[in-house]
Structures are given as C-alpha cells and as structure tokens.
Amino acid sequence: MICHKLKVIETMTEGNGLSNVYDDLMIQGVSIDSRTVQTRNLFIPIIRQLDGHDYVEEAISKGAIASLWQKDHPNPPVHLPLIYVDDCLNALQILATNYRRELSIKVIGVTGSNGKTTTKDMINSVLQTKYRVHKTVGNLNSQIGVPLTILEIDKNSEIAVIEMGMSERGQIDRLTRIAQPDITVITMIGVSHLSSLGSREEIAAAKLEIVNGLQDKGVLIYNGDEPLLTNGLNKIRAKNPISIISFGEDDTNDYYVGTTLTNSEGSFFTVGDDKFYIPLLGAHNVSNALATIAVATILGIGPAEMETGFRDLKITGMRMEKVVSPFGFTIINDAWNASPNSMTAAIKTFEELNGYARKFLILGDMLELGEQEQEFHRDIGRNINPTKIDFIYTVGTLGKYIALEAEEKFHKGSVQAFSNKEDLTEKLRNIIKQEDVILLKGSRGMQLETILQNLL
C-alpha cells in the first residue's frame, strides 16, 4: 500500500498548507471511514450522504496520522496535521493516479454491463498460479473504490486486476486514466443504466472509454459477439491503432468455445484442443472464462496453469452461489444484481439444472431500465419455459409484470406476485421440500438475499 512522508503526499494530492512540523510524518495506507481507520492511515473526508469532515478528529483519535481538508469547509481543526485540497474526491483520485505511476506492475482493467466481478475473480485466480496479484475487493469499482484499490497495492505485487463500474458517460474514462491499464476487458453490453444513458449505443460508448487510459502497446479484449463494440472499435482504431482480441460464441472470434457440458456443480468446456472446468453454472460464465483465457495467454500462462486457477476459483458472493440448506433444499443465490441480460442468462442456466425435485424461480425488480422497464419485465415472463420450471414467485412493483406474462403459460397457482419479501418467504416456508431448488435473482436494491437468510 502507499507509504510516504506527509510532505510527499501533499505534492501527490496537489494540496498545500501542511505545517512543516509534520513534513516527515509517514503515512501508511488511506481510509475514508473513521469506523475502520487503521494506525498511520491518511484520512480522506469524502462528502456523500454524510460529510467525512465531521469525522476527521475521530479518525485521528483512532490512529490516523493526518487528514485532507477541503478548502470550502469552515473551521478546520488546525491543531491536527492537515493537507488542504480543493476537492477531497478529486484529491483521492489524483493521489491514486500518481501512486499508480510509481508501481512497476501490469494492470488489467475489467468493465462491462454484466460479469465484471466474476471475470475479475477468474483472472485473479488464474494469474495467481504464476504471479503476485492484487485485485479489487468485492465490487469496489466506483469513482471512490478504484482509487482506494490502487492505493492498497503493495509495491511487490506484479499484477493488479481492477474492476471498473459506471452509471454515466465519462466515469470509465476517469477510472481508466487513474488505473493506466496494460490490458482491458469488456465483458458484454446490456441495458443496465439505460435510464441514465438512454440507449445501448451510449452504454457501449461509455464502456469503450476504457481504452482511453491504455498504456502504449496495450490490449483490449472484448466480446466480439456484440456489434456495438465492434462498430465502436472500428471508429476508435481509425484514430488510435490499439491491439484488440475478441472472444465469444461465434467462431469468427479469436477465442470461442468448442463444446460445453454443464452439471449441477459447474461447467466443462473446450477451447481449441484444451479442456477446462469452472465451478460455475451458465454459458455466460463460460464466456467470462474465455476473456480470462485471453488475458492469461498474453501473460504467458499455459493451459495447465489456467485449469488449476479455474478449479481453485473463489467467487465474490451472490453470483450463482450455491447454498445447501440444513433442511435439504438448495438455493442458488444470484441476488447481487440483475438486468434483462443477466436475469435471462441465470434463468436459462437454472432451467437446464437436473437432479432436483422441483424448481422455484424467485424474481425481483430489475431497476434503472428507463421507459421500457415494464416491457423488459414482461419479456422475462414470456420466455420462461413451463416444462422446466415448477413455480415462479415475484416481488416488487415491476416483478409483477413477469408474473402477469408467465401466468399465460403456467398452471394455475404456480405463479404468484408478492408485494413484499416477508409474505413471499412465508409462502416458501410452507411449500418448499427436500430436494427442491430455488433461484434468487433481482437488482441490488431488492436485497433478495434476505429471503435466503430467513429460510435458513
């Protein structure tokens, strides 16, 4: 993690006003949360729903060595070591940008509408077979999370895998210029954030901003099945001849799958003459593995090491996470987030699962979909296969549209819309049996994982 004297930090944040009495104090790491601050951290008071400036003195009393202070805030605690900056968030990002330049490492940036976190976890697991790797923890992929991740990188790390998220144009551009990646990955383009960006074309353009921070001789690995990415790249390469590698289902891609076999524990697949296994369900996760194979190949990792990394894979929670209850039923917890693409992929994977008595779909609202939100939910309901799913329970004001369409094809009583999770959970308690399996899928705001917690 970052470790410098305060005078150096003042320069790296483009700040000023530090009393020379404190010039030689050494900081180790940064914190934006007074509840978790560590000894010798630099505290950075970010302004969100709560104003971090209200917690500066608490953070220093708990061991922080110093703090930034935004100049437009009155009454700074002048008796403490402070560096004054114009904007604390911007200063955090500038600090991370400058620290990145000190690091002699390869950086891999990962973005996409779906699959970012899983792909990051896969790349980390495979690269760890050969390198010292630092990765984004959880989904700290925001304008705050990315710089914090970079500032946590140890100087003896060889590779960093950085996840980048966004909700509007310009955010990926900012993050990639901070991270300065050597390799970038775009997993896919969906309709998440359609409400703020307006079209899939705009979403693709926002994701393609990731090339703006590529190092010289950098490489973009992208989903070649997506025409919006291919078309966007043609325009970019007319001005900037970056190296590109494609992956996807179509055999015109540089990396594509030959055969696939899925059981209740994971997926077996081939790429050329090489055979792989991932302990994850779904064709969408095989696609994420293709992107990982492309990254690993660039970095000199062979098929045997890749196979080891895939088999040792540990995924961030609530991504097709299998939980076997003490009562004999199984829950597939995919409740971290949902979009039409990811919900369709999860349902398709769930439909193909065998070995269970009955299958229950528990589906919640998909958020941030703009004016077409009702139709997106209706389309999910229309496409659920009644020969492969036994019960559909929905929750939320938008989830009910899934149920309305599904009722047209399913037996009476097998589809039900609920207005709250408590009633849905009670229904499940009364009907679920040993050997049954449940899929939980909905947007983050629905917090469907509470259903799992209340069933166990």
Binding site members: 112-118
Q: Quote helix, strand, coil % in the chain, to nearest 5.
A: 40, 20, 40
- What distance in Å separates the CA atoms of residue 361 and residue 394, rounded to the nearest whole number? 8
Cite the annotated binding site for ATP by residue number: 112-118
Beta bridge partners, 51, equal: 47
**Three-state DSSP state, 325:** coil
Q: What is the DSSP letter of 419?
A: S
Q: Which 8-state DSSP code applies to residue 47?
A: B
Element (H, E) at 399: helix 399-406
Dist. CA 32–CA 47, nearest whole Å:
10
Enumerate the β-bridge partners of residue 439. 332, 361
Q: 364 near 396, Cβ under 8 Å?
A: yes
Q: Which residues pair with 275 in a beta bridge?
A: 270
Q: How far apart are CA 89 and CA 423, in angstroms?
A: 42
Q: Measured between alpha carbons, how far is 188 from 242 in angstroms, rounded to an integer?
A: 19
Q: What angle do CA 339, 346, 232 make, to 5 degrees?
A: 50
Q: In what order do the strands lie in the sheet with 274-278?
A: 260-262, 267-271, 274-278
Beta bridge partner(s), residue 330? 324, 437
Q: Distance between CA 204 and CA 225 in Å, rounded?
A: 13
